[in-house]
Structure 1
Amino acid sequence: MNKRLTLSASPSSVCLNGKLLLGLLLACVVLSRCTVQSIPKNKIRKMVESSAINRDHYTGFALYDPEQKKMIYEMNADRYFIPASNTKLYTLYTALQMLGDSIPGLRYVNKGDSLIFWGTGDPSFLHSTLKSTKAFDLLKHSSKRLFYSPTNYKGDFYGANWPYDNYKYYFQAEINDMPVMDNVAVISADGKGGLKIWPAYFKVYLQQDTSFHPRSFEVERSLTENKFRYPAMPVPANFRQEIPWKTSPELTLALLQDTLKKPISLIRLNMPDSARTLYSASSDSVYKRMMLPSDNFIAEQLLLVCSSTLRGGALSTSAVIAHSIKNYMSDLPDVPQWVDGSGLSRQDLFTPRTTIALLTKISAKLGSEERMHNLFPTGGVSGTLKNAYKTDNGVPFVWGKTGSLSNNHNQSGYIVTRKGKKLLFSYMNNNYTRPTADIRGEMVRIMTQIHEQF
């Protein structure tokens, strides 16, 4: 007689087994998600450390997962590197903390029949691209006597510790309290075989010099004054050259009078705390102009604008850097050695992991990816990354700030993988002797590989 084997279970044991099964299923789901979302450190290490190019110079690399709040991989991430224009990330974050929706354009007081004004360092005043006219309109339409006071800036016309010997004297626009029209003269062919200069104020200072014999046609400015000379050679039909002028309060006054078509007097009066503030261009438009083409002039002036909001209103790069480090960056992994707004100084020194921490702060402060994408160069689309990367079937995947000086090239920013993983990276290269194109190409290759594989 065949006996049937039966298994019976009590209701309590069924319930227990069901909970166990559910727990196992949930564990499998969690493990599955971790497997999908986690990027293996060893794979990133192999990508970076197997590169012969990365091994022949001083390389720093950090890749961070903001969702899991952990560093995926680090190579010399705690070592200091010359950041070049990656410094503009620190300038951007300071401006985001200290400025509102619009840039402070002028400080002024009304005193009887007079209007006395002080500059804030605002780079947007009659700027060729930003085209802010709010301060201009205030001065143009005022019925009061105008007085310009340059007393709130006592700094140098170049940034701290800039390598003067590496730059021809008219390479970089000078820093001052009240920039006018980019602080740059534009000389171009006039279509009649001659030259024209803008602003037209400088026309009388543009002279032919028969003793000047350059290899090709160019205009040269005197080292110490605004005298421009050109050779006795045919002017190329498409000739155009930009030359920063030598700034001074007297020149600023002359340019303002020439542009406003009304008299202005120079006065040296300390700015009272009661001085009102006139706001000019939208802040994001200025930040974008700094970030996309990596505009050094905008970066330096932005720090002065930030300093104008400090107590007393004096314009000082060193004061605002100290304020920013103390109040907004005290929690960074390594204290930045930071001396200018643009990164032209080789005395700027930051670590990759500190730049990662700063990128996290910038992302939180911006508040949206749309705003970040608007302000940062985009691989294959805009700014200094337009020609470095290709898009992935028309979709960009990297947003970042480049930084270049001779023998130094860096990138720091945000990358999205094909699986939708959002990561932060800082990739720094110092003291190499091979062509910069090799360094740039290797960075692009590795970052694109990270995008494609994860």
Structure 2
Amino acid sequence: MEIKKTILPLFIALFFLSPLWGQEADFRAKYAGLDSLLNEKSFFGNHLTGFILFEPDSQRVIFEKNSHMNFIPASTTKLLTFYGSIMLLNDSLPAFRYVENGKKITIWGTGYPGWKYSKLPQPDIDEFLTKFDTINFSDKNWKDEAFGYGWQWDDYYYSYSVEKSPFPIYGNFVTFLNQKRVPKANIPSFGKVSINPDKTNKGVERQLHENAFYFNPDTYTETKSEIPFITSAETFAFLAGEGLKKSITVAGESLPMDHQVFYGAALEPLWIEMLQESDNFIAEQLLLMMSDKQFLDLNSERIIEYIQKTYLSDLADRPKWVDGSGLSRHNLITPRSMVSLLVKIEKEMSRNQVMQLLPQGGISGTLKNNYKARTPYIFAKTGTVANNHALVGYIKVDSGKVYAFAFMNNNYLNKAPEVRREMEKVMLYIKEKF
């Protein structure tokens, strides 16, 4: 007994002096420091904040706050769309489906967004279609709406809220360049811009219910205006025919099973545009292309339900997912489900490839002006709608480790740049201490 009493204090002393105990104490200090930046007494105590730091290699949660709660994800919703496209789309994308009969062709859209959209590589659609004397266009496979569920109606003339359509052209918006204080359109048929002296707008604007554009020459200073136009089968047929210098007729034919496919460009340029520039239009059309691939019709709601049941049933928490872009405030997801999603994406492509596709702090995309460092350390998708900001992706810390994280903020009254500055303090702490 005397020996045991002697050995026990010695064992305790050796344990407390051991490297293992030192590492534990160091981690506790790091944890406490991170908690002080995120707790109720911090900047993040005055609104709803969720955060999770996860080590993918060991599958360990390092830190979490409210990671089980649902948040409006804004454009980080695009990570769900990205994952769905990995699982459902091939590298070569169908641009349209068609039936050919001599010099006559009937075409159906697949949702492909690239035709005459300057931000994407251009397939030879013009060259192919000009061979035909008669061109018919059918939208009988269109089972969707131009606007997503929960989009704000008064965003209709902003380029981040263009309409969805079965066969987009020009990205479904018209660009006006300011040439000596006169707007010049890239689409000839939209070139007539009326003068409205009662408006004080700096750029070109559009009437709510028609493709009628106006400006005030006394206040017109904007270099470039990108304005969505109202889409329809007739509008597409007219604009496509104008470009091809051919008449295109709107038909009502259903898509037959024995049709052919004209392929467009590769998938990766769409990923880059969607993830780095947070292109809402690309995200929505990607969903429609997935629906086309799976069902041969274009229905966002149907394909979202299919992806959730088939590929996302094992997320930490089931999200409420309603659109491809995150424009809707009806989207809801937990931070831990966002990290679960990153883990699932890594099973389909390498982590390094994912990190290269995402915006890099201080370098590219929507993070070009934030999270700057000598060497990029943040690789993440951003998401912002009024009073809500999220960041989901990877952080590479000074020790060389890479962590996955989801940092979500809802219902704040501060300006978004102020929220980003405070978030950057948190991420810098992790970079230096973890």
Residue 280 (1) aligns with residue 264 (2): yes
Residue 356 (1) aligns with residue 339 (2): yes
| Aligned residue in 2 for 1:399 | 379
SS of equivalent to 1:160: coil
| Aligned residue in 2 for 1:324 | 307
Aligned ranges 1:213-232 → 2 under 5 Å:
213-232=198-217
2:200–2:219: 8 Å Cα contact kept in structure 1? no
Aligned ranges 1:125-140 → 2 under 5 Å:
125-140=115-130
**Larger C-alpha radius of gyration, 1 or 2?**
1
Q: Which residue, out of 159, 180, 191, partners 1:203? A: 191
Cα offset, 1:33, TM superposition: 12
- Separation (CA, whole Å) in 2 of partners of 1:294 and 1:338: 17
1:159–1:340: 8 Å Cα contact kept in structure 2? yes
- Identity of aligned pairs, percent? 35
| Aligned residue in 2 for 1:427 | 407
- Separation (CA, whole Å) in 2 of partners of 1:383 and 1:55: 29
Is 130-139 or 398-407 further displaced after alignment?
130-139
Cα offset, 1:438, TM superposition: 1.9
Cα offset, 1:383, TM superposition: 0.8
- Separation (CA, whole Å) in 1 of partners of 2:403 and 2:91: 28
| Aligned residue in 1 for 2:357 | 375
SS of equivalent to 1:138: helix
Cα offset, 1:316, TM superposition: 0.5
| Aligned residue in 1 for 2:246 | 262
Output one character per residue of 1:234-263: Cα deviation in whole Å (capped at 9) or x when no partner.
754x63211111111111001111111122
- Separation (CA, whole Å) in 2 of partners of 1:432 and 1:90: 24
Cα offset, 1:357, TM superposition: 0.3
Is 77-86 or 435-444 further displaced after alignment?
435-444
Residue 450 (1) aligns with residue 419 (2): no
Cα offset, 1:351, TM superposition: 0.3
SS of equivalent to 1:449: helix
For structure 2, which runs of at least 5 residues remain unmatched after alignment? 1-17
| Aligned residue in 1 for 2:317 | 334
Distance 1:260 1:217, change over 3 A: same
> Residue 216 of structure 2 aligns to which amino acid in structure 1?
P
Aligned ranges 1:26-37 → 2 under 5 Å:
none
| Aligned residue in 2 for 1:119 | 109
Q: Which residue, out of 215, 218, 225, partners 1:233? A: 218
- Separation (CA, whole Å) in 2 of partners of 1:33 and 1:116: 73
Cα offset, 1:373, TM superposition: 3.0
For structure 1, which runs of at least 5 residues remain unmatched after alignment? 1-27
> Residue 244 of structure 1 aligns to which amino acid in structure 2?
P
Cα offset, 1:202, TM superposition: 1.2
Cα offset, 1:216, TM superposition: 4.7
Cα offset, 1:177, TM superposition: 0.4
> Residue 152 of structure 1 aligns to which amino acid in structure 2?
N
Residue 174 (1) aligns with residue 159 (2): no
Cα offset, 1:270, TM superposition: 0.6
| Aligned residue in 2 for 1:22 | none
> Residue 354 of structure 1 aligns to which amino acid in structure 2?
S
Aligned ranges 1:410-421 → 2 under 5 Å:
410-421=390-401
| Aligned residue in 1 for 2:327 | 344
Is 168-177 or 222-231 further displaced after alignment?
168-177
Distance 1:197 1:41, change over 3 A: same
Cα offset, 1:112, TM superposition: 4.3
1:126–1:133: 8 Å Cα contact kept in structure 2? no
Aligned ranges 1:80-99 → 2 under 5 Å:
80-99=70-89
Distance 1:264 1:32, change over 3 A: farther
| Aligned residue in 1 for 2:15 | none
Measured on the aligned residues, the alpha-carbon RMSD in Å equals 2.3
- TM-score using structure 2 length: 0.90
SS of equivalent to 1:432: coil
- Separation (CA, whole Å) in 2 of partners of 1:328 and 1:33: 43
> Residue 63 of structure 1 aligns to which amino acid in structure 2?
L
Distance 1:36 1:378, change over 3 A: farther
